[in-house]
């Protein structure tokens, strides 16, 4: 171990060195997401802004794609972070993992440059392969699609082979199975079909099942490890709960897919399936409140890393409100008929993605920085601790502000554009011109700047937290060794 408070790679194992690289790119892409979000938000207020240079369609695509990829980089980094610790052996195939990191990063840079400089191409197969596949949220060209699957497969090999060589903990077992689905489901978004309903049918497998199944399970694994590390929660308890939560998530989440099939031309029975599971999807979230209260009373919330724990708590609340409350408000088909595709969806998407996923990646970056600085003190009365608290505060105020502003705009759209004007072209413009919509866009912009300020503070804090600390981290009592499966 090097001196406390100094960033030194000697403090990290091989997997963790690779994880730090992934985290670095993740934060850079997070910055890109914020930047293109701000530009897209400005274009709602000033439609001529960057028109013909960087159109709204390109900004929006970059904003959303950057989010998907930075979260993916963050998740991969988090898994490499815990891999040697969990398995008890060095990462198998680490050199290949490092190579793939550079391939993946360079591919992302190439895709972003093509998005920015080429933007669109003629309606032929070459454009799909080299410029843009045209599927919303997963617009990456076909070569990059294949590249992503290859990268995830190498990542899977690293993880599975390492656990097989070392010990297979409960967290490791769930993780390995989840990574099979993570790589496999992505391919569902790569097949061409001339029928738009069939195309959307498979496209939702990537969007919904990645997000509400494989990512949720991955986050469950990361949270399980995070709680062991920050609070010393017993492994047996955490792993038992991981199994229970995976069962609950799969029980309601997989066929919750049905609420995306309401209006894409699929058979009518999806209204019943989607409605049924959508009504039940929040029950696990509400039930988890009991578990959170139980554990809070049980562990007294003493942690080795307060910023990481705070972001994990933020994850629980963000997931509950973003996915639970904001989702259920407009998920039944009787009302979703009017709300889908309006700013309602954007409101739900902003809070749910930030609450459920961004928070856990940020928590892991704080865990990484702590060890990178020699396992430095990050509990109470941390020197310069105001920065992480203000970053957390500003990011949440900004996100809640955006969510509420989009909610008001979406509420207006669902009434004016959809219900009164019947979803026609003129209805669209009537909805866009309404004062509630326009004021909503102004408040979204103000909140976006608040969020951006929070991001700048977060980035500054991640670069400096623990730098002036000379105390070693608080130790938590680990009551048992990892169980062998």
Partner 1 sequence: MIEPVELANFFTVFFSAASVILFGAGYALLFAWSRVSARPRLMPLAYAAYLGLAASVITLGLAANLFNSGFWTFIVLLMLVGYLLAPHAVWHLCVGTHTDAPAAESVKLTQPR
Quick one: which of 34, 25, 8 has its CA closest to 80? 25
Candidate segments 81-89, 321-329, 372-380, 386-394, binder of partner 1 by CB under 8 A: 321-329
Q: Distance between CA 473 and CA 169 in Å, rounded?
A: 25
Which stretch in 15-23, 329-337, 346-354, 393-401 sits in contact with partner 1 by CB under 8 A? 329-337
Residue among 97, 333, 349, 454 that touches partner 1 (CB under 8 A): 333
Of the pair 76, 314, the CB lying nearest partner 1 is at 314
Does residue 236 touch partner 1 according to CB under 8 A?
yes
User: DSSP assignment of 59-106, as one string?
Assistant: HHHHHHHHHHHHHHHHHHHHHHHHHHHHHSSPPTTHHHHHHHHHHHHH
Per CB under 8 A, does 313 bind partner 1? Answer: no
Q: Is 244 in the site for partner 1 (CB under 8 A)?
A: yes
Print the SS3 string covering 136-153. CCCCCCHHHHHHHHHHHH
Q: Does 215 bind partner 1 (CB under 8 A)?
A: no
Contact between residue 398 and residue 452 where contact means Cβ atoms under 8 Å apart: yes
Among 291, 429, 456, 460, which residue interacts with partner 1 (rule: CB under 8 A)? Answer: 291
CA angle 366, 374, 73 (to 5 degrees): 35
Asked if 293 interacts with partner 1 (CB under 8 A), we say yes
Contact region for partner 1 (CB under 8 A) — 13-21, 30-38, 83-91, 335-343? Answer: 335-343
* Terminal C-alpha separation, the chain: 32
Is residue 287 within the footprint of partner 1 (CB under 8 A)? yes
Q: Which is nearer to partner 1, 125 or 293 (CB)?
A: 293
Q: Which is nearer to partner 1, 123 or 297 (CB)?
A: 297
- The closest of 330, 331, 279, 375 to 85, measured between CA atoms, is 375
Residues in the chain: 485
Among 31, 180, 337, 453, indicate the residue that binds partner 1 (CB under 8 A). Answer: 337
Q: Write down the least CB distance from residue 67 to partner 1, Å.
A: 25
DSSP assignment of 278-313, as one string? Answer: HHHTHHHHHHHHHHHHHHHHHHTT--SBHHHHHHHH
Counting residues that bind partner 1 (by CB under 8 A) gives 47
| Least spacing, CB of residue 320 vs partner 1, in Å | 7
For position 264 contacting partner 1 by CB under 8 A, the verdict is no
267 binds partner 1 (CB under 8 A): no
The two structure tokens encoding residue 408: 């008001």
* DSSP structural state of residue 322: I
Give contact residues for partner 1 (rule: CB under 8 A): 234, 236-237, 240-241, 244, 268, 271-272, 275-276, 279-280, 282-291, 293-294, 297-299, 320, 324-325, 328-335, 337-338, 411, 414-415, 419-420, 479
């Amino acid at each position: 171990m090097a001196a406390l408070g100094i960033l030194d790679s000697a403090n990290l194992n091989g997997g963790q060195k690779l994880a730090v690289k992934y985290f670095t790119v993740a934060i850079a892409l997070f910055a890109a997401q914020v930047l293109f979000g701000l530009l897209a938000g400005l274009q709602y207020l000033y439609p001529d802004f960057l028109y013909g240079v960087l159109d709204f369609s390109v900004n929006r695509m970059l904003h959303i794609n950057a989010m998907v990829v930075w979260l993916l980089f963050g998740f991969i980094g988090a898994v490499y972070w815990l891999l040697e610790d969990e398995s008890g052996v060095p990462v198998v195939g680490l050199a290949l993992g490092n190579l793939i990191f550079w391939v993946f990063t360079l591919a992302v840079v190439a895709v972003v440059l093509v998005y920015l400089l080429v933007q669109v191409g003629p309606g032929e197969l070459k454009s799909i392969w080299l410029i843009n596949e045209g599927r919303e949220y997963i617009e990456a060209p076909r070569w990059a699609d294949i590249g992503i699957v290859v990268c995830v497969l190498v990542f899977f090999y690293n993880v599975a082979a390492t656990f097989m060589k070392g010990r297979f903990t409960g967290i490791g077992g769930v993780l390995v199975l989840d990574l099979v689905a993570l790589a496999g489901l992505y391919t569902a978004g790569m097949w061409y079909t001339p029928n738009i309903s069939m195309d959307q049918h498979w496209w939702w497998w990537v969007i919904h099942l990645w997000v509400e199944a494989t990512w949720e399970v991955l986050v469950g694994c990361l949270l399980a490890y995070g709680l062991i590390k920050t609070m010393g929660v017993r492994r047996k308890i955490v792993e038992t709960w991981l199994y229970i939560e995976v069962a609950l998530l799969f029980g309601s989440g997989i066929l919750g897919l049905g609420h995306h099939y309401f209006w894409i031309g699929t058979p009518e029975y999806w209204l019943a399936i989607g409605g049924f599971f959508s009504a039940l999807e929040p029950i696990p979230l509400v039930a988890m409140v009991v578990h959170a209260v139980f554990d809070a009373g049980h562990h007294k919330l003493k942690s080795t890393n307060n910023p990481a724990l705070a972001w994990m708590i933020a994850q629980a609340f963000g997931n509950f409100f973003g996915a639970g409350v904001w989702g259920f408000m407009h998920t039944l088909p009787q009302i979703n008929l009017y709300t889908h595709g309006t700013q309602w969806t954007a409101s739900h998407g902003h809070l749910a993605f930030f609450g459920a996923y961004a928070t856990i990646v940020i928590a892991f970056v704080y865990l990484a920085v702590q060890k990178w600085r020699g396992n430095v003190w990050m509990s109470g009365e941390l020197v310069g601790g105001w920065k992480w608290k203000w970053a957390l505060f500003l990011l949440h105020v900004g996100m809640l502000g955006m969510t509420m502003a989009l909610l008001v705009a979406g509420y207006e759209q669902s009434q004016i554009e959809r219900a009164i004007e019947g979803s026609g072209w003129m209805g669209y413009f009537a909805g866009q011109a309404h004062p509630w919509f326009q004021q909503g866009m102004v408040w979204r912009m103000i909140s976006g700047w608040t969020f951006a300020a929070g991001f700048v503070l977060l980035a500054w804090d991640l670069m400096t937290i623990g730098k002036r600390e000379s105390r070693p981290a608080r130790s938590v009592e680990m009551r048992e060794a990892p169980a062998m499966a």
